[in-house]
């Protein structure tokens, strides 16, 4: 059984249209139960429904379930089954965090625990789901028997938290997630891999792009709905799982460089993990709809603060610059994929 690209495209289109229909209904429900937040980067601080990510994540989970039935081989089916399990748990964790608020230490800790199925089910019977043989540029296929499994523990936690930390402005998380998932899809055509990895790289990434696109239409500036931790954690976890099961780990690391830099800057300036609600010193301040960098040395150093350090910008300008940076590293990621191709041919 071969990979049916047309079938993947059709299913992705269905996912996009369904998300387009479901998202405003989710927003309406969240508003009706009082789950709303203030869009703090606008002059009038409008009320916007939160936790909208539950809509596109549920649709994505359903598409993964469909993928199990159309997967070309047993290994692909098993990999999608593990992805479905992990992402369901991450989505539930994000939903709980949206309504109950987990501590800054407990959340990443639980995400590490939720990644354990990847290690537990690295092999099912005679089928190897995960092999510690990543492909590196200029080197080709390598064997990292110990280091790989150590890093695999964080395959969910790191991209999930990085995605969550970049979800600070209208469309920043969903837009960057779209670019990265599309990069994964294109990379699957560049690097010659075994069929099961190519299927994950194409199916899981294009369907993720589709649901994020449907959500982004409502989440972009000016946002009509927020993703919440449900959406940002789920998106990051999906990207991490696509990286490991699609065997494009290094490509995704490059594509996530903006997210990684933002997370590292925040954690290093705060000297540890802290929930955003507990941070007294804000990295930026908004004056008449224009975002200014904070002059407080104790304020966390974020990507947004760096972008407005030289010149204040409005929210739309900041988001465009964030997405431009993500686009740039995604291009670098595809160049990396081409170098990896040359390394194994």
The answer to whether the beta carbons of residues 122 and 145 sit under 8 Å apart is: no
The percentage of the chain sitting over the pLDDT mark of 70, rounded to a whole number, equals 97
Res 163 pLDDT > 80: yes
User: For the chain, what is the mean pLDDT?
Assistant: 93
Confidence of residue 341 (pLDDT cuts 50, 70, 90): very high
Res 111 pLDDT > 90: yes
Rounded (10°) CA dihedral 167, 172, 173, 174:
140
End-to-end CA distance of the chain: 24
| Whole-number pLDDT of residue 269 | 78
| Each residue's pLDDT tens digit, 222-259 | 999 999 999 999 999 999 999 999 999 999 999 999 99
Q: How far apart are CA 57 and CA 238, in angstroms?
A: 10
Res 260 pLDDT > 80: yes
pTM equals 0.95
| Each residue's pLDDT tens digit, 318-337 | 999 999 999 999 999 999 99
The answer to whether the beta carbons of residues 42 and 97 sit under 8 Å apart is: no
| Whole-number pLDDT of residue 185 | 98
| Whole-number pLDDT of residue 289 | 86
Give the burial string for 12-42 (b: 16+ CB within 10 Å, else e).
bebbbebbbebbbebbeebeeeebbeebebb
Confidence of residue 262 (pLDDT cuts 50, 70, 90): very high
One-letter-per-residue 3-state SS of the chain: CCCCHHHHHHHHHHHHHHHHHHHHHHHHHHHHCCCEEECCCCCCCCEEECCCHHHHHHHHHHHHHHHHHHCCCHHHHHHHHHHHHHHHHHHHHHHHHHHHCCCCCHHHHHHHHHCHHHHHCCEECCEECCCCCCEECCCEECCCCCHHHHHHCCCCHHHHHHHHHCCCCCCHHHHHHHHHHHHHHHHHHHCCCCHHHHHHHHHHHHHHHHHHHHHHHHHCCCCCCCCHHHHHHHHHHHHHHHHHHCCCHHHHHHHCHHHHHHHHHHHHHHCCCCCHHHCCCCCEEEECCEEEECCCCCCCCCHHHHHCCCCCEEHHHHHHHHHHHHHHHHHHHHHHHHHHHHHHC
Q: How many CA atoms lie within 13 A of 28 on its CB side?
A: 5
Confidence of residue 278 (pLDDT cuts 50, 70, 90): low
| Whole-number pLDDT of residue 277 | 59
Q: How far apart are CA 257 and CA 241, in angstroms?
A: 17
Strands 290-293 vs 284-287: parallel, antiparallel or unpaired: antiparallel
Lateral strand order in the sheet of 284-287: 284-287, 290-293, 313-314
Res 196 pLDDT > 70: yes
Q: What six digits make up the tokens of 144? A: 């990292």
Average pLDDT over residues 172-200: 97
| Whole-number pLDDT of residue 282 | 79
Res 1 pLDDT > 70: no
Average pLDDT over residues 311-317: 94
Res 276 pLDDT > 70: no
| Angle at CA of residue 309, ends 305 and 314, nearest 5° | 70
Which residues neighbour 125 within 8 Å (Cβ) at sequence distance 6 or greater?
none
Length of the chain: 345
| Whole-number pLDDT of residue 2 | 76
Res 345 pLDDT > 80: no
Q: How far apart are CA 89 and CA 341, in angstroms?
A: 34
| Each residue's pLDDT tens digit, 30-86 | 999 999 999 988 888 999 999 999 999 999 999 999 999 999 999 999 999 999 999
Give me the phi and psi of 253, to 5 degrees please: -60, -45
Q: Which of 157, 168, 114 is nearest to 286 (CA)?
A: 168
């Amino acid at each position: 059984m071969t990979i049916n690209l047309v079938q993947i495209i059709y299913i992705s289109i269905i996912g996009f249209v369904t998300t387009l229909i479901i998202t405003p209904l989710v927003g309406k429900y969240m508003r009706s139960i009082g789950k709303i937040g203030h869009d703090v980067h606008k002059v009038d601080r409008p009320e916007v429904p939160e936790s909208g990510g539950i809509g596109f994540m549920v649709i994505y989970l359903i598409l993964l379930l469909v993928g199990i039935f159309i997967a070309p081989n047993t290994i692909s089916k098993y990999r999608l089954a593990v992805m479905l399990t992990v992402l369901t748990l991450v989505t539930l964790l994000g939903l709980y965090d949206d309504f109950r608020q987990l501590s800054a230490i407990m959340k990443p800790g639980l995400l590490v625990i939720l990644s354990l199925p990847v290690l537990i089910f690295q092999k099912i019977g005679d089928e190897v789901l995960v092999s510690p043989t990543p492909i590196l540029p200029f080197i080709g296929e390598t064997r990292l028997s110990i280091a790989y499994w150590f890093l695999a523990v964080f395959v969910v936690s790191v991209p999930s938290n990085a995605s969550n930390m970049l979800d600070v402005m209208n469309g920043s998380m969903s837009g960057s997630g779209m670019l990265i998932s599309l990069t994964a899809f294109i990379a699957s055509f560049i690097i010659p891999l075994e069929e099961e990895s190519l299927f994950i790289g194409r199916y899981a990434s294009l369907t993720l792009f589709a649901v994020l696109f449907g959500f982004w239409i409502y989440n972009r500036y000016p946002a009509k709905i927020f993703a919440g931790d449900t959406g940002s954690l789920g998106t990051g976890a999906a990207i991490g799982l696509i990286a490991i099961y699609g065997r494009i780990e290094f490509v995704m690391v490059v594509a996530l460089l903006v997210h990684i830099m933002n997370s590292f800057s925040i954690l290093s300036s705060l000297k540890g993990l802290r929930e955003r609600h507990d941070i007294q010193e804000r990295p930026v301040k908004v004056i008449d709809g224009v975002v200014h960098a904070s002059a407080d040395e104790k304020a966390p150093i974020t990507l947004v603060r760096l972008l407005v350090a030289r010149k204040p910008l409005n929210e739309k300008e900041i988001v465009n610059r964030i997405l431009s940076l993500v686009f740039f590293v995604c291009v670098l990621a595809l160049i990396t994929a081409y170098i990896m191709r040359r390394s194994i041919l």
